[in-house]
Amino acid sequence: MLPTLRLRLVVVFALVALTAAVSASGIAYWLNRDAVLTRAQNAALNDFRKTMEDNAGNLPRKVECDQLRDAARKMARSTQDYQVLLIGETREGRPCAAASNEDDFTLQHVPESLRSAVAKKRKVDSANSYPYHLYWQRITKGGDPYLIGGAKVIGVSPTPTGYMLKSLAPERDDLNSLAWSLGIATGLALIGAMLLAQFAATTVLRPVRRLAEAARRLGEGKLDTRLRVSGTDELAELSRTFNRTAESLERRVADLSSREESSRRFVADMSHELRTPMTAISAVTEVLEEEQENLDPMIAPAVQLVVSETRRLNDLVENLMEVTRFDAGTAKLVLDDVDVADQVTACIDARAWLDAVELDADRGITARLDPRRLDVILANLIGNALKHGGSPVRVSVRTRTRDDGEPELAIEIADQGPGIPEAVLPHVFDRFYKASASRPRSEGSGLGLSIALENAHIHGGEITAHNAPGGGAVFTLRLPRDARRVVEEREREERDEHGEHGEHGEQDAHGEQDAQDEHGGSGDGDVNGERQRRDGER
């Protein structure tokens, strides 16, 4: 409802100020209203009682209407500005009602309840000194408030009864003016509270915004971000806590980065150092394999084991070197226009899989990708499907449009096996992950699918895995039709990160070395492909 802290502070301040102002104004209004009406009412009734005693009290018991009228007019000339109605009994015994102004005040204007109360005679005792009392009531006449009071002259009956009618319009106007004044004061108090809330929000939110900006920079990897702290309040203590946390995080990340860099360098150095002896060992094992038929039958199984393990070790070294390049961020794309159907066919043919793979791809579907890395992805996915799912493996190539409007290439590899267990699906792309703990050793290195995924990511693509409804695992590779934008964005990020020419030069040198390593890896891949083809022919 209230998305920002500033808005919440303003609303809370406004509600508190409005509640306080309305409460104070309401209390002040009702107190003043009661005081104004009570003062006007008491002044009019006291004056009416006095004039009744002075004028109506001196009239004879049997009076004429003219005498009542003269007395009523004389009573109405009071400073309280009210009208008077006198009711008496003439000498003939007829009732007479005489008003100071018969057009505005007659007996019909007097409520029946007030007439009954005024005419009622009460018992005189210690608690009640007089048989008759003065009574009053507020009425509305013509939309204006009025006060009506009535009393009976005490004496031997019949005695006259008098009523007064006083307008309370001036008091009403005064109270309306007071209400307007209180309303304006409430509005000003509300505006003042909102301005105060804005000032308070600015004071509070300025360090909060600085803290949010610092947290954002920290999340972007700028671990040297610190806040300038002043004051001793809670926000200052929060800033100090942030600085201590950032400092601790910087130390921890520096330590972890150092360890990771050492581990990565160790793996890279180890892989590079192993390549030379592995090349020699591979050559020896190829010679042993060619001479296997001439060996002693007791030695032949051991030689075959050495050959297979040497190949497995060689693949592991190559995969470790590839993983090292991904981890170091030095893997580069060498883009070229690729006919996808021809690329898939070449991948299958190089590994002697033509009889075990069905290709569903239209000719002429082209994409600008890295052919070597696409071959690595396809070889790993198809080889994994053949090894664990069984043939025939179906490879389907389709084109589609992504949500952002960019054209996309979708390659689907489906096998005929039992599928992937649900517990294994989230981990199929993890490095060295084994589906069964009881079978930790397999022909593969456990890095193939993770390398395929890294190669998809470097293209700006993705690989997903799921089980088909009828059985079998399905791997879906999605790649952009043109990876040039991915390359440009990565180069722009590297320029922003390094910025200096010296750093660019160093990066270019490393990149050139990585390119040489990758071409070397590609050559090894061709050798492995040729070896697999010979195995298939045998």
Where is pLDDT greater, at 276 or 193? 193
Read off the pLDDT of each residue in 269-288 and give the average, rounded to a whole number.
76
Read off the pLDDT of each residue in 75-92 and give the average, rounded to a whole number.
86
β-bridge pairing 161-167 and 144-152: antiparallel
Read off the pLDDT of each residue in 93-103 and give the average, rounded to a whole number.
84
Q: Percentage of the chain surpassing pLDDT 90?
A: 15
Read off the pLDDT of each residue in 447-471 and give the average, rounded to a whole number.
88
Residue 322: count of CB within 10 angstroms of its CB = 23
Cβ(318)–Cβ(445) below 8 Å = no
Task: Give percent helix, percent strand, percent coil of the chain, each to the nearest 5.
Answer: 60, 15, 25
Return the pLDDT at 412.
93
Rounded to whole angstroms, the Cα distance separating 138 from 148 reads 6
Return the pLDDT at 499.
58
Confidence of residue 345 (pLDDT cuts 50, 70, 90): very high
**One-letter amino acid for residue 462 of the chain:** E
Confidence of residue 307 (pLDDT cuts 50, 70, 90): confident
**In this model, does residue 500 exceed pLDDT 60?**
no
Where is pLDDT greater, at 59 or 377? 377
DSSP 17-50: HHHHHHHHHHHHHHHHHHHHHHHHHHHHHHHHHH
The 10s digit of each residue's pLDDT in 3-39 is: 676 777 788 888 888 888 888 888 988 998 889 888 9
The 10s digit of each residue's pLDDT in 349-398 is: 988 898 899 998 888 889 999 999 899 999 999 998 988 887 789 999 99
Query: Residue 338: enclosing H or E segment and its boundaries?
Result: strand 336-339
**In this model, does residue 471 exceed pLDDT 50?**
yes
3-state secondary structure of 116: helix
Average pLDDT, the chain: 80
**In this model, does residue 188 exceed pLDDT 70?**
yes
The 10s digit of each residue's pLDDT in 409-438 is: 999 999 988 888 888 888 888 877 765 544
Query: Residue 347: enclosing H or E segment and its boundaries?
Result: helix 340-350
Return the pLDDT at 497.
65
Query: Residue 82: enclosing H or E segment and its boundaries?
Result: strand 82-89
Return the pLDDT at 165.
92
Read off the pLDDT of each residue in 489-500 and give the average, rounded to a whole number.
71
Which stretches does DSSP call E strand in 364-416? Answer: 366-369, 393-401, 407-414
The 10s digit of each residue's pLDDT in 191-247 is: 888 888 888 777 777 888 888 888 888 888 888 888 888 777 777 888 889 889 888
Return the pLDDT at 474.
92
The 10s digit of each residue's pLDDT in 516-534 is: 344 333 333 333 433 343 3
Return the pLDDT at 149.
93
Rounded to whole angstroms, the Cα distance separating 477 from 482 reads 15
Is the previous residue joined to 392 through a cis bond, with omega within 30 degrees of 0? Answer: yes
Domains of the chain listed by start with CATH number = 5-179 (3.30.450.20), 251-330 (1.10.287), 332-436+443-497 (3.30.565.10)
Read off the pLDDT of each residue in 71-85 and give the average, rounded to a whole number.
88
Confidence of residue 93 (pLDDT cuts 50, 70, 90): confident
Beta-carbon-side half-sphere exposure of residue 499 (alpha carbons within 13 Å): 2
Confidence of residue 1 (pLDDT cuts 50, 70, 90): low
Read off the pLDDT of each residue in 308-337 and give the average, rounded to a whole number.
76
Rounded to whole angstroms, the Cα distance separating 49 from 111 reads 19
